[in-house]
Structure 1
Amino acid sequence: MPYNEENTFKGRFSWENTDTCYVKSVLLSGLRIKIPYLVDGVILKGAVINVLNQEFVPNVSRNNVSVVQQKKLSYAIGKAIHLWIRDHAELSIEQKALLDVFIETKYKETNSYLRL
């Protein structure tokens, strides 16, 4: 299955980002989500994320998080996107099976930021 790596939420122009992330309703202005793997054909238009997980702690300036936390969050969001597509998009049985293989291959790790 064709896929792209390191996808971001972009606007009309390359310098525009259309994702915003909050921790308990406080904006993290420096945080940018990068979906590690995204199946070909899916377009990321925008996202508003409010993280309530106690493990997710912003830096002292409260405008960003550590690189490790950013990667864990991006991974969780990427996996959630693909699980949602599998469960809600009108896919054939073969397409769902192929997407399941993709999820098992690229998103096999568990993640404390993703509630299943």
Structure 2
Amino acid sequence: MTPESMQMLLALAFGFAVAGLSCSAFQLATSRLPSFTMLAKGPSAQALAAVPLLIVAAPFLIMRNTLMGARHEARQFQFVFLATIIAGFWSLMSGQVLVMSLRACGVV
């Protein structure tokens, strides 16, 4: 495995881990699940504050909604596969941004 492949794999895992951690921290702090409907309330301070959380937590939310929908609504395989690809790509990109931020701060 090349070093670039290993870096991408670690960024993917780091992106999913941070997404799950942010969702769990939000749920611990507010006793409710984060959701994309937090943005549907119109322009407000609460919706603006939800944007960074949803950007980081999106891979976890996409996979949670997809797997629950596949279980309860019998969604087609193609839809579940496409949602998994989108969540994986989003996780990879957010993981890359987080790793680059840590590297810029001198942590890594």
Normalised-by-shorter TM-score class: 0.3 to 0.5
Greater Rg by CA: 2
TM-score by length of 2: 0.33
TM-score by length of 1: 0.31
